[in-house]
């Protein structure tokens, strides 16, 4: 119950560094404590009976995640209405089935909606929970470096990222491809040391919106009999979309067969990170996306519409990260860019950084490594008109070296011939140079 939140600051853990959520609703024991319409709960009971044929209070409680003290009077009421009847005792519990009138009503409710699962929480409680669990981080350069320790980052880059992470506002990562923008964004989730609660479903105007998605939400194994079972303890979500992003993914999706709504991507990302990768290369044009999100980014709320026209507000409480190798000025106007508070240029790497990345990759791949090799690699990379060292080159070239050795059935080598061969395979060469070399 939202009124009975326990804002726990203890360091109870379900892993190496995951604290118990500060938002911790207790198990509701009265129908009013659910804060959803009675009809929604009754319909869940009827649909459950429609599918199972026979049930008990305990089985129903486990299925729809509503406590027995709430279910007991509802079953008594359904029995008085001659919709269910008792078929026998199961210990101190009772076995129930639908009467003929109950089967007719349950079949009707099942045709309208087929959802049988955890009872939803109210949209109001979802608002309160999302705001209560908004991320707040305290980091410095050392903490950030430790969180991103598998990347080679300069102090300058860390000092640009640090304030952006502390603010938890939107972040725009831009710069040439191959320098780790996506890798950087994916690892930002490591800065969080806590978990949150996500509801299985949310109720709006008597309709059910399914929110918890095991594909994108990573649950935390925490058994607490005092927790309202309609909520799932999870790590903060990280959701990434790329070129596949279309406008419909940002709106409610109505499942006509199931009679329920599926939450859009930004709703699933609440209290976490939402990465728009390769921004500018989506089916959804940058202008459409920016127009859709200009209010959410500014006011931290979004608006969704049910299939029959009812519009409602949801929280937009997340760190949105845009990652692109396109020119920001070609993607957005000044009005929108102003709403993206933090803009970080991820530049090509310097010689020292390139050498360290090469060393790490060579060790990881169990390849020979010495300073002369990396010096020669750099000279090859910076030939044929190329002028930048990029963070992706070491891993990509080492993978080609290994592929060459596997093709020729021999151990991997770091000879000049193999390195030259790898570079020739990796980089495109000018058409003019190819025609001259091959006598075309």
Per-residue pLDDT of 285-309, as tens digits, reads 888 888 888 889 889 999 999 988 9
Instruction: Convert the pLDDT of each residue in 20-63 to its tens digit.
Output: 666 889 999 999 999 999 999 999 999 999 999 989 999 999 99
3 state SS of 234: strand
Is pLDDT above 70 for 208?
yes
Place of tokens 């604290």: 19
Average pLDDT over residues 419-434: 77
What pLDDT score does 185 carry? 92
Average pLDDT over residues 323-344: 84
Give the domains, in start order, of the chain with CATH numbers.
37-118 (1.10.10.10), 125-345 (3.40.50.300), 351-437 (1.10.8)
Over 119-160, what HEC string results? CCEEHHHHHHHHHHCCCCCCCCHHHHHHHCCCCCCCHHHHHH
What pLDDT score does 231 carry? 96
Q: How far is 346 from 337, CA to CA, in rounded Å?
A: 17
What pLDDT score does 88 carry? 84
**Higher model confidence: residue 92 or residue 143?**
143
Instruction: Convert the pLDDT of each residue in 98-147 to its tens digit.
Output: 999 999 999 999 999 999 999 999 999 999 999 999 998 888 899 999 99
Is pLDDT above 90 for 336?
no
Confidence grade of residue 73 (pLDDT, cut at 50, 70, 90): very high
What pLDDT score does 438 carry? 41
Closest to 323 measured CA to CA, from 285, 262, 358, 274: 274
Q: What is the DSSP string of 325-380?
A: SS-HHHH--HHHHHHS-EEEE-PPB-HHHHHHHHHHHHHHTT----HHHHHHHHHH
Place of tokens 């430790």: 146
What pLDDT score does 80 carry? 94
3 state SS of 298: helix
What pLDDT score does 21 carry? 64
Confidence grade of residue 89 (pLDDT, cut at 50, 70, 90): confident
Write phi, then psi, for 174 (nearest 5 degrees).
Answer: -140, 160
Which helix (H) or strand (E) is 276 found in, with range?
strand 273-276
Write phi, then psi, for 155 (nearest 5 degrees).
Answer: -60, -35
In a 10 Å sphere around its CB, with 0-12 CB exposed, 13-18 middle and 19+ buried, how is residue 349 labelled? buried
| Token pair recorded at residue 186 | 């994916």
Closest to 292 measured CA to CA, from 310, 281, 305: 305
Confidence grade of residue 283 (pLDDT, cut at 50, 70, 90): confident
Confidence grade of residue 417 (pLDDT, cut at 50, 70, 90): very high
Round to the nearest angstrom and report the end-to-end CA distance of the chain: 77
Is pLDDT above 60 for 1?
no
């Amino acid at each position: 119950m939202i009124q009975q939140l326990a804002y726990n600051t203890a360091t109870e853990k379900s892993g190496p560094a995951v604290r118990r959520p500060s938002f911790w609703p207790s198990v509701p024991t009265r129908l009013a404590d659910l804060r959803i319409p009675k009809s929604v709960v009754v319909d869940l009971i009827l649909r459950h009976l429609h599918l199972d044929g026979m049930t008990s209070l305990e089985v129903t409680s486990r299925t729809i995640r509503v406590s027995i003290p709430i279910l007991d009077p509802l079953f008594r009421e359904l029995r008085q209405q001659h919709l269910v009847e008792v078929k026998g005792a199961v210990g101190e519990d009772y076995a129930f089935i639908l009467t003929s009138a109950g089967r007719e009503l349950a079949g009707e409710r099942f045709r309208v909606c087929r959802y049988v699962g955890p009872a939803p929480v109210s949209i109001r409680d979802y608002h309160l929970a999302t705001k209560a669990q908004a991320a707040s981080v305290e980091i410095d350069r050392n903490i950030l470096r430790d969180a991103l320790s598998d990347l080679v980052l300069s102090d300058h880059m860390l000092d640009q990222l640090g304030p952006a992470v502390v603010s938890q506002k939107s972040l725009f990562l831009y710069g040439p491809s191959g320098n780790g923008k996506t890798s950087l964004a994916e690892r930002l989730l490591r800065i969080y040391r806590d978990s949150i609660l996500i509801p299985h479903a949310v109720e709006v105007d008597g309709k059910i919106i399914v929110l918890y998605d095991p594909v994108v939400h990573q649950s935390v194994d925490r058994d607490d009999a005092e927790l309202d079972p309609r909520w799932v303890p999870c790590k903060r979500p990280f959701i990434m979309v790329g070129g596949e992003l279309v406008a419909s993914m940002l709106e409610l999706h109505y499942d006509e067969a199931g009679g329920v709504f599926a939450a859009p991507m930004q709703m699933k990302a609440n209290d976490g990170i939402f990465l728009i990768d390769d921004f500018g290369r989506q089916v959804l044009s940058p202008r459409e996306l920016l127009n859709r999100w200009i209010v959410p980014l500014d006011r931290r709320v979004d608006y969704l519409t049910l299939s029959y026209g009812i519009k409602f507000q949801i929280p937009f409480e997340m760190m949105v990260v845009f990652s692109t190798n396109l020119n920001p000025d070609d993607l957005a106007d000044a009005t929108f860019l102003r709403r993206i508070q933090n803009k970080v240029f991820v530049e090509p790497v310097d010689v020292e950084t390139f050498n360290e990345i090469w060393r790490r990759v060579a060790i990881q791949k169990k390849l020979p490594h010495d300073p002369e090799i990396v010096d020669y690699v750099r000279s090859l990379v910076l030939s044929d008109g190329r002028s930048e060292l990029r963070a992706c080159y070491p891993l990509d070239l080492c993978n080609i070296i290994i592929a060459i050795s596997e093709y020729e059935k021999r151990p991997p080598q770091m000879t000049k011939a193999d390195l030259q061969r790898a570079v020739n395979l990796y980089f495109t060469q000018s058409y003019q140079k190819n025609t001259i070399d091959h006598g075309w």
